[in-house]
């Protein structure tokens, strides 16, 4: 017996000041987490046989990846029903879910990594809300591997109603769950939207107010943007802002990129005693609560004392497309640390290089 239902789940969500209820959608509550790096969430209105169906982006507002390998360990009573890896296409070349859900920025399988979750416990859902809002960072998730395909490979979608499996294209692992906002066999996206979701907001079924604003993926520094054009736009915007600041302080600024971004040489326009400065620049579409550093970046920041290292961060950058389709960056809030010297206790290793002991290696 559920200790909560879709209506209670919606009440829990909408009690938050940073959540907007963008309903009505006939079959789902559509919620928008506002602010930097906003997120959409869909909660199916119909209670299923023991679970509430929830759609989320695979990353929280804090740019933390969802722990797909063991979600129940962190969110009691939550299982993954289906995983829509970016680029997923369902039957009939539609999104694989109702178009009303897929039209929402951050829940578009064509552009985003999306999860369909089955939530069975109120406490677990409340924890999920805190994580999704960015208040809780687990740091245990990982981005999808390049070869990860929804319903295939190492992940098998959770099977419900095993007596009537719904096979998506016949692939081995693509057994979808029987949930209320899934596609109907033979339906086109528009027909499915009208039949299962029915947007009544006056917006187009496939276009959202936020369609051209891209704040739904990880920003450089907070994590990783797979699209090289988006990534370059974020990087360049942050570097431009950093160059402007140090130029205004009187430095001669040279852009290097490696092992640090900007070499700032003092001139007569600087304050007396201004040092040589190495600047590491990080930009993010979200709040950039963490930044990713290479080994060489850390090594340079710790330096030999002959220069000062600064960390310059621009968070909350927005991206939009111009008339030619190119990404255009704007906005963002800058912050910096002068005399930056990352400590061991503030660094978390994410991978290791292992030198294989050849003398111990057994070969045929």
Write down the H helix ranges in the chain.
Answer: 6-14, 71-74, 99-102, 122-132, 189-192, 228-248, 295-302
CA distance 5 to 11: 10
Say whether pLDDT at 126 is over 80. yes
pLDDT more than 70, % of the chain: 73
Please say whether the dihedral angle defined by the alpha carbons of residues 167, 168, 171 and 175, taken in this order, is positive or negative.
negative
pLDDT on residue 92: 59
Q: Give the mean model confidence (pLDDT) for residues 184-208.
A: 29
Show me where the domains of the chain are located.
6-197, 228-346
pLDDT on residue 241: 96
Say whether pLDDT at 152 is over 50. no
Say whether pLDDT at 62 is over 80. yes
pLDDT more than 90, % of the chain: 29
| CATH architecture for segment(s) 228-346 | 3-Layer(aba) Sandwich (3.40)
Beta strands in the chain (DSSP E): 19-21, 28-33, 39-44, 52-57, 78-84, 114-119, 166-167, 175-176, 252-255, 262-265, 277-283, 308-315, 318-321, 327-330, 333-338
pLDDT on residue 205: 27
Write down the H helix ranges in 89-159.
Answer: 99-102, 122-132
pLDDT on residue 281: 95
CA distance 79 to 73: 10
Angle at CA of residue 273, ends 270 and 278, nearest 5°? 75
pLDDT on residue 100: 77
> What's the mean per-residue pLDDT of the chain?
75
State both tokens at 70: 């063991």
Q: Give the mean model confidence (pLDDT) for residues 123-133.
A: 93
Secondary structure (3-state) at 195: helix
81-122 pLDDT, tens per residue?
888 888 777 665 666 677 778 888 899 888 888 998 989 899
Backbone angles phi, psi at 311, to 5 degrees: -110, 125
Which residues lie closer than 8 Å to 241 by C-beta, 6 or more apart? Answer: 312, 314, 332, 334
Q: Of 163-172, 310-319, 349-358, where does mean pLDDT reach its minimum?
A: 163-172
pLDDT on residue 4: 78
């Amino acid at each position: 017996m559920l200790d909560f239902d879709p209506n209670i789940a919606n009440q829990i969500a909408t009690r938050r000041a940073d959540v907007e209820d963008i309903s009505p959608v006939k079959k789902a509550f559509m919620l928008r987490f506002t602010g930097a790096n906003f997120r959409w969430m869909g909660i199916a209105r119909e209670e299923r046989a023991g679970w509430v169906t929830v759609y989320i982006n695979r990353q929280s507002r804090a740019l933390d990846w969802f722990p797909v390998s063991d979600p129940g360990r962190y969110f009691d009573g939550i299982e993954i029903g289906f995983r829509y890896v970016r680029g997923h296409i369902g039957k009939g070349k539609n999104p694989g879910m109702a178009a009303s859900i897929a039209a929402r920025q951050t829940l578009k399988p064509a552009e985003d990594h999306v999860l369909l979750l089955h939530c069975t416990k109120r406490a677990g859902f409340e924890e999920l809300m805190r994580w999704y809002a960015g208040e809780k960072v687990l740091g245990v998730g990982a981005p999808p591997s390049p070869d990860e395909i929804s319903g295939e490979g190492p992940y098998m979608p959770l099977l419900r109603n095993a007596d009537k499996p719904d096979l998506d294209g016949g692939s081995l692992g693509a057994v979808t769950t029987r949930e209320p906002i899934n596609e109907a066999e033979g339906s086109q996206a528009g027909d499915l939207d009208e039949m299962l979701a029915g947007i009544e907001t006056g917006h187009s079924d496939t276009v959202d107010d936020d369609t051209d604003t891209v704040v739904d993926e990880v920003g450089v520094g907070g994590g990783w943007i797979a699209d090289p054009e988006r990534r370059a736009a974020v990087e360049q915007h942050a570097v431009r802002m950093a160059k402007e600041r140090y130029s205004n302080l009187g430095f001669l600024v040279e852009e290097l990129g490696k092992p640090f971004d900007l070499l700032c040489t003092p001139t007569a326009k600087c304050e007396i005693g201004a040092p040589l400065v190495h600047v590491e620049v990080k930009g993010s579409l979200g709040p950039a609560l963490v930044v990713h550093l290479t080994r060489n970046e850390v090594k340079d920041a710790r330096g030999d004392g002959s220069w000062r290292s600064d960390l310059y961060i621009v968070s909350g950058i927005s991206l939009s497309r111009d008339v030619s389709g190119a990404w255009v960056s704007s906005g963002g809030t800058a912050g910096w640390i002068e005399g930056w010297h990352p400590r061991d206790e503030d660094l978390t290793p994410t991978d290791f290089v292992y030198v294989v002991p050849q003398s111990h290696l057994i070969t045929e």
